[in-house]
Amino acid sequence: VQGFETRGGVHYLQTPGGVVKARAVGIATGGYTSQSLHRELKNRLLPILSNSIVTRKLTDDEIEACGLRTRQVITDTRILRHYYRLLPDNRLQIGSRSAITGRDAPQQKYKDMLVGNMHRKFPALQGVDIDYSWWGWVDVSHDMMPRIHQPDAKETVYYALGYGGNGVMYSAQAGRRLAQWIAGHGQELDLPIFTSKLPYPNVREMVESQAFAPFRRFGQRFLYRWYHLKDEVL
Ligand SMILES: Cc1cc2nc3c(=O)[nH]c(=O)nc-3n(C[C@H](O)[C@H](O)[C@H](O)COP(=O)(O)OP(=O)(O)OC[C@H]3O[C@@H](n4cnc5c(N)ncnc54)[C@H](O)[C@@H]3O)c2cc1C
């Protein structure tokens, strides 16, 4: 959807193949939400790049040498966290943050950084092949909480967004709630994640995010350096 306008209560969605007419629109575009898709979403999400790798199948000895005694999901306590788990077929999956910009994301160094961090955690995995790796955008909201919401009661536009890096399970549940709401049962949903909009960070940052949006990535770059310092040095 490259844009839409609403006339007489009907939404006209512009797509490369033509215009789709709709009575209601549910937005579930995750970290790929463009700034111009809808006025209610401008500057309310910070897309962050996330990176994931999966090793080849590990042997029992390697698993023992890593001290992995559980298949539960694990996270460390860094600000720039790593999250990992032993998959059912004995591969290790581990993920963390990636580059700042999409242009930089395909660079080998971000994969190498994650592989290096895996080696620091599990020295026994030095040299183990990486069978899969991927990266993508996640949709971080400014209070780290998702929202399933109709931002303007006069308009039949709804969204389910803001899962950060935790949306695989949650987005399926949110999709069900979004459909329920579009079907006219929104009044049954009265938790804050249903009743409030995706927030701006705060008044100061709201002004900044409107006026200085192009510079957000500089701020993020600085924050990543600072968090790295706190995680690894201080
Ligand atoms: C590397 C990586 C690792 C992750 N690991 C985990 C994990 O271990 N556990 C977990 O819970 N979550 C994880 N996540 C996050 C999880 O993938 C997302 O939270 C989840 O996929 C969000 O689902 P969604 O349906 O809301 O959006 P998405 O799956 O992002 O789908 C959004 C869709 O909208 C489409 N779209 C965007 N704009 C438009 C438009 N204008 N018109 C039409 N279509 C549009 C996109 O093409 C995309 O297909 C990870 C993400 C990444 C990138």
**Chain segment 105-115, per-residue pLDDT in tens:** 999 999 999 99
Q: Specify the 3-state DSSP secondary structure of 14.
A: strand
Boundary residue ending a domain (121, 140, 159): 140
- 141 DSSP β-pair partners: 45
* Domain that residue 28 falls in: 3-41+149-198
Boundary residue ending a domain (140, 170, 187): 140
pTM of full prediction above 0.85: yes
For ligand 1, residues with CB inside 6 Å are: 1, 28-32, 34, 37, 50-52, 95, 134-136, 138, 163, 165-169, 171
Angle at 185 between CA 162 and CA 153, to 5 degrees: 65
Distance CA 134, CA 95 (A): 9
Same domain, 37 and 51: no
**Chain segment 126-176, per-residue pLDDT in tens:** 999 999 999 999 999 999 899 999 999 999 999 999 998 889 999 999 999
| 64 in a structural domain | yes
Mutation test of ligand 1: which of 13, 29, 111 has the most ligand atoms closer than 8 Å to its C-beta?
29
**What pLDDT sits at residue 166?**
87
